[in-house]
Chains A and B, each alone.
Chain A
Amino acid sequence: MRGWKGAILFIAYLTLLSFFVLSFYAAFAVEAQSSFSIENSQIAGKLIFGTVVVSELLMVSFIAPALTSGAFASERERQTFDLLKISLLSGLELVLGKLSAALSYLLLLAFAALPLEALAFLLGGVGLAEFLISTLMLFMTALFFCALGIFASSFSRRVIVSTVLVYGFNIISTFVFFLGIFLLAIFESASAASSQPNPLAASFFGSLLWFLFSTNSLFAAFASEALLVSENSLWLVNGGGIFGSMNAVLLSPWIIYVVVYALGSLFLILFSAYIVNRME
Chain B
Amino acid sequence: MSAAIEFKSLYKWFGKRIAVNNVNLEIQPAEIFGLVGPNGAGKTTTMRMLVTLLKPDKGEIFVGGYSIAKQRNDVRRIIGFMPDSFGVYGDMTVSEYLDFFGACYKVNPHQRQKLISDLLDLVDLGPRRADMVDTLSTGLKQRLGLARVLIHDPQILVLDEPASGLDPRARVEIRELLLEIARLGKTILFSSHILADVAELCSRVGIIEAGKMVAVGTLSQLSEQVMPHRQVKIGLLARLPEAMALLAAMDGVRAVRELDGVKYAALEVDFIGGDEALGGLLSALLAQGLPVIHFSEATKNLEEVFMRTTKGIIS
- Chain A positions near chain B (C-beta within 8 angstroms): 2-3, 78-80, 82-89, 279-280
Contact = CB atoms under 8 A, between A and B. Distances in A.
Q: Indicate the member of B51, B86, B152 with the most A CB atoms within 10 Å.
A: B86
B87 A78 contact: yes
Contacts of B79: 86
Given A78-B88, A280-B53, 8 more contacts: A78-B89, A80-B87, A82-B81, A82-B83, A88-B104, A88-B106, A89-B104, A280-B54
B55 A80 contact: no
Nearest to A89: B104
Contacts of B257: none
A85 B53 contact: yes
Contacts of B51: 86
17 contacts: A79-B83, A79-B87, A80-B88, A82-B53, A83-B86, A83-B148, A86-B76, A87-B76, A87-B104, A87-B105, A88-B73, A88-B76, A89-B104, A279-B52, A279-B54, A279-B55, A280-B53
A2 B89 CA distance: 12
A132 B88 CA distance: 42
Given A80-B89, A82-B86, A279 B53 contact: yes
B232 to A, nearest CB: 49
Interface string B106-119: 10000000000000
Say what secondary structure dominates the interface of chain A: loop
Given A2-B91, A78-B87, A79-B87, A84 B104 contact: yes
Contact of A87 (B54, B85, B86, B101): B101
Interface in B89-127: 89, 91, 101, 104-106
Contacts of A84: 104
A88 B77 contact: yes
A108 to B, nearest CB: 18
A76 to B, nearest CB: 9
Nearest to A77: B87
A13 to B, nearest CB: 22
A79 B53 contact: no
Nearest to B55: A279
Contacts of B73: 88
Contacts of A78: 87-89
A280 B13 CA distance: 12
A91 to B, nearest CB: 11
A182 B85 CA distance: 53
A80 B104 CA distance: 13
Q: Indicate the member of A84, A86, A279, A280 with the most B CB atoms within 10 Å.
A: A86
Nearest to B54: A280
**Complex A-B, nearest 6 residue pairs according to Cβ-Cβ distance, in ascending order:** A87-B104, A79-B87, A78-B87, A279-B55, A80-B87, A2-B91
A89 B100 CA distance: 12
B86 A79 contact: yes
Interface in B60-96: 72-73, 76-77, 79, 81, 83, 85-89, 91
Nearest to A83: B86
Given A86-B51, A88-B77, A79 B101 contact: no
B78 to A, nearest CB: 11
A81 B87 CA distance: 9
A83 B80 CA distance: 10
A3 B53 contact: no
Contacts of A79: 83, 85-87
A3 B92 CA distance: 11
A84 B83 CA distance: 12
Nearest to A3: B91
Contacts of A280: 53-55
A93 B59 CA distance: 30
A279 B57 CA distance: 11
A82 B104 CA distance: 12
A36 B83 CA distance: 70
Nearest to A79: B87
A85 B51 CA distance: 10
Contacts of B52: 86, 279
A87 B106 CA distance: 9
Contacts of A88: 73, 76-77, 104-106, 152
